[in-house]
Structure 1
Amino acid sequence: MDFGLNFFPVITPERKSAAQYYQETIRLAVLAESLGFAHVQTVEHYGSPYGGYCPDPVALLAAVAARTSTIRLTTGAVIASFNHPLKTAARLAMLDNLSDGRLDAGFGRGFLPDEFAWFQVPMAQSRARFAEMLDACVALWSGQDVTWTGEFYRFGPVTLLPRPVQRPHPPVYVASATSAESCAAAGKAGHHLQVVPSVASREQLREMLAAYREAWASSGRPDRPRIQIKYTCYLSEDRAEALAAAELFERNYIAHMAGAVAGWAGARSDQYPGYEQFVDKVRRYDFDAALAATKVLAGTPAEVRDQLAAVAGWYGDDLTVSVQISPGHMPYEQSERALRLFADRVMAEV
């Protein structure tokens, strides 16, 4: 098992300013590199406390790249529906150069109705836009004099500059929330995978990963697929302290997620079957149940090691676990203590 550090800002300006959040994120990323973490990653969201402090993961990761030298930089994920492939491919290639070839390029479809409305993109197009964006970016990174005539984009002939450092292109990750079909398509295409266990049942996630691994194996590729799985993690030598922090910041996450997914109360899309249930799922959230189901990692180092052993048993020991150790408005000092403790007492002993 490898470990990375994930950043998903669920914060209001009253709790912590954007400038303070970015400064603390960079400090924690630099520390994570010194402690041996494999990657740092962040999201793309807009217009709400649910991720809205990171509308541009490339900009934040470029700031991290300037302060680090070895840790991988992962977009988790660029939202394909809201970006043009020429601009997206160029900006990601620039980050690959700024970091001397440390980019892992994660792409997602997006899932919030309000964001699609703000960008004036029909949700019914999200799957097709995602596929076209991904294929166009790979073509731009890999080829020269690229001419593209698709359903949504037309350009060329163009040779992308800058060229990415990693050849033929940076590793591509596909973010999937609940769809085994999407996971299988990623495996068949030779893309790596990002999943979030908090939004899928254990059985559902196992089916997703099985479909992905089977599709990858059937493709005949000699290399191994990479799977990133994301958890929030609350760690302390004092169990009560860890669980108190977990409940506080998980409820903060749920409160802001409720506002972000509220659009699903009136939205329906065959591109997102079952997503209309998000509103009710958030309303029925139970912290104790989430902890018991290992939707969140929390407790003493020994308890978190046991939780990770269970995760490996359910989903495989070939995972990269991306932990969010500084959620919400957690004070920097508390996040730093947890990060050091995770490296010393969890990561070193798993």
Structure 2
Amino acid sequence: MHVALVMECDYRQGRTQEEAFSEAFTIAEAAENCGLDGVWLAERHFATHRRPTDPMGAGIPSVVSVPLVWASAIAARSERLRIGTGVSVLPLCHPIRLAEEAATVDQISRGRLDFGVGRSGFARAYEGYGIPYGESRERFQEALDVILKAWTDDRLTYEGKYFRCENLCVMPRPYQQPHPPIRVAATTPDTFPMIGRMGYPLVTGLRGFDIPEVAQNLKRYREAWHAAGHAGNGNVYIRIPVYVAATDVQGQRSPRPAPCVPIGAWPRTLPAPRRAVVRPSQKSAWRGASASAR
């Protein structure tokens, strides 16, 4: 089991973008020094501080609109951490450019990139880029096909509905062969078995699901995985909110107001059935606590 840190690189009212960048790099350095296995970088677009007159506001602005650039900077500041995109929203970018950028990060980091991909459930990002959200699934599948071919074919030729190219030599090639590990995000129930059939490791979390729903979705993912004849049991990365404090008392009291922000935007997020307070010295315990939620 691996334990990593998810970074959304928020900056709240009263703070500056420069402070948000500095804080994020400090957190990544702490993850390296504390022995975490990796960091995962979200991708967020067009968020604004929530205002009653702005129904499109996403609540909390973020400076992580280009996660692969962040990944490159963190790679240069670390030696051991694996660095994941959690996730790169494939339909919003040209897949050949993404293939080039991800391979570059993989080379700079000497094979420490994990390439998490998805469609995103935020329609606002698609509106901002002028892409119909209804096309997201087809665009995602085509983009993933193009990226894989760009990394593995000597010359890339592709004829799809949204992307076309002929006889391209795409450079650089990834450091990891045949390519970095790919992990696909699932945020709706029907996506879990689809990813299982495709045979990809899974990214999911607790936003929009309670724990019994997560368990049922993972069951459907693994049933589809086995039905498609894939070896193993399917690997799952699940995002679990954690609050770190200096003492047990602070750990239980301080975070209570904070969940109101995301829960206000995600009303079906779990009414946590249990809590765990684990001291930093109990590394095996907090790994076990995370595993129990899977």
Decide: shared fold, TM above 0.5: yes
For the structure 1 residues 30 and 15, does the alpha-carbon distance in structure 2 shift closer, same or farther, using more than 3 Å as the test? same
CA deviation string 1:112-149 (max 9, x = no partner): 22222111111111111111111111111111211111
Which structure's relative contact order is higher, taking Cα pairs within 8 Å and 6+ residues apart? 1
Q: Which residue of 1 aligns with 2:226?
A: 217
Q: Which residue of 2 aligns with 1:203?
A: 212
CA deviation string 1:257-281 (max 9, x = no partner): x4xxxxxxxxxxxxxxxxxxx5xx2
| Structure 2 unmatched runs, 5+ | 49-59
1:87 and 1:158 mapped to 2: Cα distance?
A: 12
Moved more, 96-105 or 212-221: 212-221
For the structure 1 residues 109 and 38, does the alpha-carbon distance in structure 2 shift closer, same or farther, using more than 3 Å as the test? same
Matched, 1:110 2:120: yes
CA deviation string 1:214-236 (max 9, x = no partner): 23334444456321111221133
For the structure 1 residues 100 and 210, does the alpha-carbon distance in structure 2 shift closer, same or farther, using more than 3 Å as the test? same
CA contact (8 A) 2:9 2:64 kept: yes
Q: Which residue of 1 aligns with 2:273?
A: 293
Q: State the secondary structure of the residue aligned to 1:88.
A: helix
Letter in 2 for 1:10: D
CA contact (8 A) 1:44 1:51 kept: no
Deviation at 1:10, TM superposition (A): 3.5
For the structure 1 residues 237 and 66, does the alpha-carbon distance in structure 2 shift closer, same or farther, using more than 3 Å as the test? closer
Paired positions, count: 282
CA contact (8 A) 1:80 1:108 kept: yes
Letter in 2 for 1:238: T
2:20 and 2:171 mapped to 1: Cα distance?
A: 32
For the structure 1 residues 304 and 37, does the alpha-carbon distance in structure 2 shift closer, same or farther, using more than 3 Å as the test? closer
Letter in 2 for 1:23: S
Percent sequence identity is 25
CA contact (8 A) 1:42 1:76 kept: yes
CA contact (8 A) 2:278 2:285 kept: no
Q: Which residue of 1 aligns with 2:258?
A: 249
Q: After superposition, where does 1:89-128 map in structure 2 within 5 Å?
A: 89-128=99-138
Q: TM-score, normalised by structure 2?
A: 0.86
1:218 and 1:38 mapped to 2: Cα distance?
A: 31
Which one has the bigger helix percentage? 1
2:226 and 2:118 mapped to 1: Cα distance?
A: 23
Q: After superposition, where does 1:78-93 map in structure 2 within 5 Å?
A: 78-93=88-103
2:99 and 2:89 mapped to 1: Cα distance?
A: 13
1:35 and 1:21 mapped to 2: Cα distance?
A: 21
2:273 and 2:169 mapped to 1: Cα distance?
A: 49
Q: State the secondary structure of the residue aligned to 2:83.
A: strand
Q: TM-score, normalised by structure 1?
A: 0.73
Q: Which residue of 2 aligns with 1:142?
A: 152
CA contact (8 A) 1:178 1:200 kept: no
1:55 and 1:72 mapped to 2: Cα distance?
A: 20
Q: After superposition, where does 1:1-350 map in structure 2 within 5 Å?
A: 1-12=1-12, 14-49=13-48, 50=60, 52-179=62-189, 181-222=190-231, 225-236=234-245, 238-254=247-263, 258=265, 281=267, 290=271, 292-293=272-273, 299-301=277-279, 309=288, 312-313=291-292, 315=294
For the structure 1 residues 233 and 7, does the alpha-carbon distance in structure 2 shift closer, same or farther, using more than 3 Å as the test? same
| Structure 1 unmatched runs, 5+ | 259-277, 316-350
